[in-house]
């Protein structure tokens, strides 16, 4: 029996997580395992119910589960709250408390989504990138202060924090055919980046089979657009990874397609890479695929149900090949469907 904490969150969160649960339920039936869901309020929903984006009631539920499936948090109604009450503070707190320092996002170009991308046809063929983003350090967690007419945020990293994520990225690169790792920093101007680069060079000695390249983040942002095929595995710090992985999502056709896993502690967390999309919330318009693919990662990494994970990934490809599309990836001549129908069809193809 696998226990999963379900944190639907805000905006489209409830729709996309319910959609993913439809697919998980079917996978459990087909592959003969049992799932128990433990739903709890989180983000804006946590604030509304308990006055905190990560309430103690939710924390207790999470700590008694083996994995967390999260929708998304945030919305304009929470934007003016003091920082500790904002939904995003709940997200930072759960990542930190669960020790989830390693965020993995995978970006693949599907040629049947060619019309969704702004690049010329054929230009993105073969793009297949994994981004390792450090998730519990850097500017989002460093000391910060705001007065009337000044403010600062601090980027602080220890060698240990850098080394543990860099090792994971090297290990993955060493298992991929190209064995290539790009480490992205800003070592020409930032001390934390100089330390980052030094640690990467040291860890590289343990992985002689992996070829390492260092890129400055500004150049990397451009290279992702002009020559994305050059990348295989990327490793970078928290804020650079946040920005570059959203940029890279465009290579896959839509933010609605990009899954993520956050690992490093006893309990891992799985969530789509996008936000709560308040503009389309409650309209059955959201693309649930990123959340469904995150659920596949959950089965793979937390429960070693590799066959079920692969079957879900294959069912997603099948449905897209058959021409079914949600609004964000709609195309002429394709069959337009909503969030729940997309989930049901993927479950049916399992």
Instruction: Give the burial string for 8-47 (b: 16+ CB within 10 Å, else e).
Output: bbbbbbbbbbbbbbbbbebbbeebeeebeebbbbbbbbbb
The yes or no reply on residue 243 touching ligand NAD (CB under 6 A) is no
The yes or no reply on residue 284 touching ligand NAD (CB under 6 A) is no
Evaluate whether 271 touches 260 at the Cβ level (below 8 Å): yes
Candidate list 39, 88, 153, 331; residue touching ligand NAD; CB under 6 A: 88
Candidate list 14, 53, 275, 338; residue touching ligand NAD; CB under 6 A: 275
Nearer to ligand NAD, 185 or 271 (CB): 271
Nearer to ligand NAD, 201 or 279 (CB): 279
Nearer to ligand NAD, 13 or 137 (CB): 13
The window from 25-33, 72-80, 135-143, 151-159 that contacts ligand NAD (CB under 6 A) reads 72-80
Catalytic entry in 157, 242, 270, 324: 242
Report strand pairing: 35-39 vs 2-9: parallel
Which residue, 147, 144, 169, is CA-closest to 264?
A: 169
Nearer to ligand NAD, 230 or 336 (CB): 336
- Residue 315 contacts by C-beta under 8 Å, 6 or more apart in sequence? 23, 346, 347, 349, 350
Report the residue count for the chain: 350
* Active-site annotation holds for 218: yes
Catalytic entry in 25, 111, 206, 218: 218
CB of 339 to ligand NAD, least distance (A): 8
Evaluate whether 263 touches 104 at the Cβ level (below 8 Å): yes
Please report, for residues 181, 220, 274, the alpha-carbon distance to residue 251 in angstroms, rounded to integers and kept in the order given: 19, 14, 14
Determine the Cα–Cα distance for residues 161 and 195; give it in Å rounded to an integer. 11
Write out the binding residues for ligand NAD, residues 8-67 only, by CB under 6 A: 12
The yes or no reply on residue 204 touching ligand NAD (CB under 6 A) is no
The C-alpha angle 140, 142, 147, rounded to 5 degrees, equals: 90
Please report, for residues 84, 254, 317, the alpha-carbon distance to residue 249 in angstroms, rounded to integers and kept in the order given: 29, 6, 17
Total interface residues for ligand NAD by CB under 6 A: 21
Instruction: Give the burial string for 126-144 (b: 16+ CB within 10 Å, else e).
Output: ebbbbbbbbbbbbbbbeee
CB of 105 to ligand NAD, least distance (A): 12
The yes or no reply on residue 68 touching ligand NAD (CB under 6 A) is no
Q: Is the dihedral of CA 59, 65, 66, 69 positive or negative?
A: negative
Candidate list 58, 192, 238, 276; residue touching ligand NAD; CB under 6 A: 276
* Active-site annotation holds for 242: yes
The yes or no reply on residue 286 touching ligand NAD (CB under 6 A) is yes
CB of 67 to ligand NAD, least distance (A): 17
CB of 290 to ligand NAD, least distance (A): 6
Q: Where are the alpha helices (DSSP H) in 68-158?
A: 87-97
The yes or no reply on residue 279 touching ligand NAD (CB under 6 A) is yes
Binding residues (CB under 6 A) for ligand NAD: these are: 12, 72-75, 88, 91, 255-256, 271, 274-280, 286-287, 290, 328
| Enzyme catalytic residues | 140, 186, 218, 242, 246
């Amino acid at each position: 029996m696998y226990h999963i904490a379900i944190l639907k969150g805000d905006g489209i969160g409830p729709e996309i997580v319910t959609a993913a649960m439809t697919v998980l339920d079917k996978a459990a039936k087909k592959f003969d395992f049992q799932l128990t869901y433990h739903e709890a309020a989180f983000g804006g929903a946590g604030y509304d119910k308990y006055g905190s984006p990560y309430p103690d009631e939710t924390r207790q539920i999470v700590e008694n589960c083996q994995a967390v499936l999260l929708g998304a948090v945030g919305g304009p109604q929470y934007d003016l709250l003091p920082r500790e009450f904002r939904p995003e503070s709940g997200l930072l707190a759960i990542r930190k408390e669960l020790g989830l320092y390693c965020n993995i996002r995978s970006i693949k170009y599907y040629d049947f989504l060619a019309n969704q991308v702004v690049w010329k046809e054929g230009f993105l063929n073969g793009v297949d990138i994994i981004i390792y983003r450090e998730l519990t350090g850097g500017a989002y967690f460093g000391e910060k202060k705001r007065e009337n007419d000044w403010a600062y945020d601090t980027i602080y990293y220890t060698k240990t924090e850098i080394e543990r994520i860099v090792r994971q990225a090297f290990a993955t690169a060493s298992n991929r055919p190209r064995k290539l790792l790009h480490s992205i920093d800003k070592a020409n101007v930032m001390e934390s980046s100089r330390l980052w680069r030094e640690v990467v060079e040291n860890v590289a000695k343990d992985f002689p089979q992996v070829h390492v390249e260092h890129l400055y983040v500004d150049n990397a942002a451009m290279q992702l657009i002009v020559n994305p095929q050059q990348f295989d595995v990327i490793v970078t710090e928290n804020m650079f990874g946040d920005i570059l992985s959203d940029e890279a999502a465009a290579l896959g056709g839509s933010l609605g397609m990009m899954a993520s896993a956050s690992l490093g502690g006893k309990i891992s967390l799985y969530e789509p890479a996008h936000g709560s999309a308040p503009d389309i919330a409650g309209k059955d318009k959201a693309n649930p695929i990123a959340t469904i693919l995150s659920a596949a990662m959950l089965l793979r990494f937390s429960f070693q149900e590799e066959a079920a994970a692969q079957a879900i990934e294959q069912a997603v490809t099948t449905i897209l090949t058959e021409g079914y599309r949600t609004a964000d990836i709609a195309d002429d001549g394709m069959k337009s469907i909503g969030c729940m129908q997309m989930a049901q069809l993927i479950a049916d193809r399992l």
